[in-house]
Amino acid sequence: MSGTQRWTCPESSPWPARVLAAVVALVVTGPALAPGFVLLRDMVFVPRQDLDADALGLGGTLPRAVPVDPAMALLTAVVPGDVVQKVVLLAVVFAAVLGAARLVPADDDGRRGVAGLAAGLVYGWNPYVAERLLIGHWSLLVGYAALPWIARHALRVRAGERSALPALLLTVAAASLTPTGAVLGSGTALVLIGRHRLLAVVGAVAVLASPWVVAGALHPGGGGSDVAGVAAFAARGENWGGPVVAVLGGGGLWNGDAVPGSRGTALVPVLTALLLALAVAGWRAADAWRDRAGSRLLLLGGAGLLLAVAGTVPGLRQLLELTVDVVPGAGLLRDAQKWAAWWVLPLALGAGLGVRRLGRWLGARVGDAGAVPVTGAALLLPVLAVPDLAWGVAGRLEPVSYPAAWQEVREALEEDDRPGDVLVLPFGAYRAFDWNDRRPQLDPAPRWLPRPAVVDDTLVVGGRAVEGEDPRARAAGAASADPERLAALGIGWVLVEHGTPGPDTPGAVGGLPVVVDAPELTLHRVPGVPGEHDVPLFRVIAVVVAHACALGLVGAAVLCMIARASTVPLRRTPSRKRDLE
């Protein structure tokens, strides 16, 4: 069996990995499957999201949620948002575990066995998954879960399998729901694809990334970001091991409140060292690092590790700050720890190969019966490193229901055809509502309301303010006490959200006509708005064409897969020869 075939051959015993993936997905997401919405930091789903200018990337903020917002608008038009959220969370964990289990190089008999199970556990049960769930970066986790599948299909394309190209494009498209996921997925594909079909794949990933690239390039603010974000979002230590050790284990998220409590224990660096030793032993024993696939995955992992710690290393930090300040769109690099996704994949694969090597070594010396307990303990290393990932990260993924007032406000705005956007107060990006048990969450108004919502996009991290990119939001926030200035800025309504910390509502807002008055929300009408805020036609056409091209490519890949998957042969009617006798 050749080197590439070991990575891509079908699994002759697929069910153990499938069962493991299903069990891990249920254990991790259990509480989130109850009725309601999990609203935690950036994880904000709504019953139905609208396909408007902001969703397409034509609003004032940089298109960080493009094309995930249009995708959610299309999905929630036919499926309730809470159902979409539960399916997504389950699918992310399931796909991560199964994908890593399928990517491990097969043994001589074509089986992956315990190596696949170990790799799946390490990739699906780790601090990266736990911390990104707690910070609410579910769309980034979609890209993370897609990485092993992208790697597998890229290697199949490299091996000359014609049917692999549509599958590769679809998995890259899944990762490309966010700009970061697009870079992670496209980088993985291009590193592993080799020369075969390279130009075709480069063109395809460019088309898939075009919605956010075009929207960002035409953004009126120029796409620049505050360099203060480099230090604010740098990887942080979780225990005595410091930030580098935290990142080596897949952790190190900048927000300490979104880190599982178990990551602060003194044992975590020891478990990280054991996992690293297992991975190194696995890569060396399998000689997988000698073939091109293995060596390129390791190089990609090294690049991810370097980017993840860049904000904490003198010299690299200054280089990163310069890049963010000068290069449009380089604000993607500020949250450096997210690039550790490239590192966790070869770590998981190496750990799987290491468990295989350990089992063989022990079996040759003490017999298979004696090897089982030690191999089982090695399998549990990722669970011991972050035990509170279980049951919704120790119950922190708890669903709640939106108050009925949100639907009342939505209906009131739908029924009123007067022009104007909605300014949301208190002026701040995050909320801590009484009805959500004071959990920090991103303001849901931009996704709930059928009109563009103007909210503060300034982030406060550790007491340090990171300036936002929307000049209109800053102007509206400064004018919140002056209804005439608000009207001149195109603000037709002011939505006041109650039961959440923030600055007091200006008295002038309270004097505006009230449209909806509820304990949780009050909607005021701002009179005298001159007209709709027009987006330049060229910008609209360019962004819409980019979305259409990306959607067309995804549709073509789906049709191609359906056509290739057809197992119904065309039956030819036998010709009838005339009997001449």
Question: Could you give the 3-state DSSP secondary structure of residue 524?
Answer: strand
Is residue 325 predicted with pLDDT exceeding 90? no
The CA-based dihedral angle spanning residues 389, 394, 396, 398, taken in that order and rounded to the nearest 10 degrees: 100
Q: Where are the beta strands (DSSP E) in 262-384?
A: none
222: pLDDT confidence band, cut at 50, 70 and 90?
Answer: low
Q: At what angle do helices 179-193 and 164-175 cross, to 10 degrees?
A: 150
Q: Give 29-53 pLDDT, tens digit per residue.
A: 999 999 999 999 999 999 999 998 8
Question: Could you give the 3-state DSSP secondary structure of residue 557?
Answer: helix
- Domain ranges, ordered by start, for the chain: 10-395, 404-525
Q: Give 155-210 pLDDT, tens digit per residue.
A: 999 998 888 999 999 999 999 999 999 999 999 999 999 887 899 999 999 999 99
Provide the whole-model pTM: 0.95
Is residue 229 predicted with pLDDT exceeding 50? yes
Cα–Cα distance for residue pair 253/230, rounded to 1 Å:
13
Write out the two tokens for 534. 């027009």
Q: Give 525-560 pLDDT, tens digit per residue.
A: 999 998 766 788 999 999 999 999 999 999 999 999
- Mean pLDDT taken over the chain: 91
Within the chain, what is the greatest distance between any pair of CA atoms?
Answer: 106
DSSP 157: H
Spell out the residues 6+ positions from residue 524 whose beta carbon is closer than 8 angstroms to its own.
493, 494, 495, 496, 509, 510, 512, 513, 514, 515
| Residue 531: CA count within 13 A, CB half-sphere | 2
Note whether 235 and 246 are within 8 A (CB): yes
Per-residue burial over 98-110, b = 16 or more CB atoms within 10 Å of its CB, e = otherwise: bbbbbbbbbbeee
Question: Could you give the 3-state DSSP secondary structure of residue 290?
Answer: helix
Cα–Cα distance for residue pair 511/534, rounded to 1 Å:
28
Cα–Cα distance for residue pair 5/110, rounded to 1 Å:
9
Q: Can you spell out the DSSP letters for 367-414?
A: HHHHHHHHHHHHHTHHHHHSGGGHHHHHHT---B---HHHHHHHHHHH
